[in-house]
Structure 1
Amino acid sequence: MATSPNAHSPAFKLYAIISRLPWPKSFTGKLMVVAFVGVHIPLIATVGFAVISMRDNPFPVMIVITCLLATLVGTGLTLLVQSKMLAPVRRTSEALKDFNSSRKAPHLPVNYEDEVGVLMAETQRCLTAQAELLGLKNRFFRTLSHDLRSPLASINDACMLLKLEGDNMSEEERNGLLSDIDATAREQLELIQGLLRLAIAEGSSEAAAKEPVDVNQLLNRAAHQSAAAAAIREVKLVVQPPKASALQVLGDQRLLSQIINNFVSNSIKHTDANGKVIISAESIEGKVRLKVSDDGIGLDEERVKRIQSGIGLTPSEGLRGETGIGLGLQICHDCARLMGTQIQVESTPGKGSTFFVDLPAA
């Protein structure tokens, strides 16, 4: 594997000195100045020699030899300096090759401001983000394989038990196993449908619908769909209607439902028994804020940044052992993007979280 030159090598030292010259500002301009000076060294040397030796009437051959020597020296120096100035470009190329082989982010300098400096900084930023996404992808597949394998194994075990012991079971016991199989199968179907929705959202370039959506109906529908999940976990689900009873938001009803439903589902999973999840909306300077708050375990700062940036799935575990790959919040991020906005999170570890999205009022 090729080894990238160090930022403190002689080639980079020369580049750093020239890069900081106040004029010209661009890397191209600096390169042209170096070439201009180098090309004119023979001329300068010839004129200087002629002026100094005018009294001695030098032979023309001496002038020619001097010009040739000066040209060779000037060309050599010019090529050497330009080669060293191009060291950052070579290093960036080598860093890309190294990343393609090792999948590890390089350490390019990011403190230069001309075109080549920006090239190195952007390459560093992109490769660092790519390395993080590759790590997230690996964690995602590990969690996903667990989420699919464990429930399917449970279904298989229940089916085998029914096959071997079904005749000896009471009707209540058989119905209980069948209910467990049904519930587990539905959860897996929901997971797979969520993955499909995420793939569709990430690959979609179509504009979302912009139509008036009744906020009260949106909030009440979300509460109704999550009522059973909240009751099972003994979490109180509260809808706080907006002050304006006829408040409407301009957006895509299907995408808005996805966002609110996933907000609520996430909050329920991370809220203790006897805790509270509040679904609400409010008008803020010509916009409508759709909001879901809880008094659950909260999120640390790093997880909040990841959720808001949408740079990748953020696997987590619910308070009751539910494993999650962060699929719901990733869907929220993509749905918001399609409507030209983004999800926001405010959270304090141990005190709870608030998820919200702002859209124009209709």
Structure 2
Amino acid sequence: MIEKLNWQSIYASLDKISFLRKSFTLKFLFIAFIGIHIPLLGLLFFLKFNSLNSYSPVQIILITLILTLVATMVTLYVLNNLLKPLILSKNALKDFYRYRTLPNLPSIHHDEVGELMRLVNKTLNSLDVLSREKQQLIALVSHNLRTPLTQILSLCELFKAENEGNNFYTDNISKITENQLNDLAELLNQLVQNKNNVVLDDDGFNVYSLVEEDIEKQKFQTNLKSIKVEVENQEELFLPNTIRSNIDLVFHNLLSNAIKFSYPNSIIKVKIFGKADKVYIEVKDQGIGFDDDYKDMIFKNMKNKGRLGTKNEPSIGLGLHLCKKTIQKAGGDLIAKSDGNNKGATFTLIV
């Protein structure tokens, strides 16, 4: 609190000087100018009231050095306090980024630094409002999506109750719907944790378990095309819980694409391994692949230009574009490789 009063009192004193009031640069240069000339002024005053013959050259030099040291200390102290608002602004941005703490920077000063503090206050408060509105909107959308899914589950149960015997399709519809409900529940859980700055138990999650769960969720699609998914896991690997939803979303999409663009009765190979402190999840299919020209566009936003799957499954061309952005946000990357058309493709998630 004392430091805060110091810089604010110094600022207030300088603001009383009219030509300094609206310029931080002039304040800084003014203090530096005064600090540089204090030793000279001090020596002139000293000599004015004292006879030069009364002191030896060594004493004069010592007096000059003392005045210089004092002037330097005072100047650095004042300049350090002038920089305090910049440090406070930096810390406000850091605290908002890390903890979503809203700033309360003083907004009474009229120079560039005062304007900076006002803008930091305004911008971070606006971002907080937008963030809360986004959370509410996503929660509302998720809630609205849950309602028809719950109704589908109820209808499946009624159908099975009235039609005893083979319920293969209703069982699979129920399973897919339950998976979607679980995904929505996980999304809402992540939103609540982000909103409340909840720190998850960071023992991490098992990458292999997540992959197995996603493969199980898409078993109905693989069965429809008689596709076999093989998993090669070289070691037990863990990633932070804070990026679990990112990894889950991206891998789910990669596996879904591999199924979509694979030919019936083929094999999709998933390989999990660690290398140079990174975790690699590789999804390799035996499908339609792509040529070098298409590779340059594969991670771009190709809305409404997606390719059809091997059974004419539709695609809007946004999945890989969003996957790339999602995994980069988690500090990783996504790369694609293919030997050409109809020679399969390999997508590698690195984090």
Which TM class, normalised by the smaller chain length? 0.3 to 0.5
TM-score by length of 1: 0.42
Which structure has more relative contact order (CA 8 Å, sep 6+)? It is 1
TM-score by length of 2: 0.43
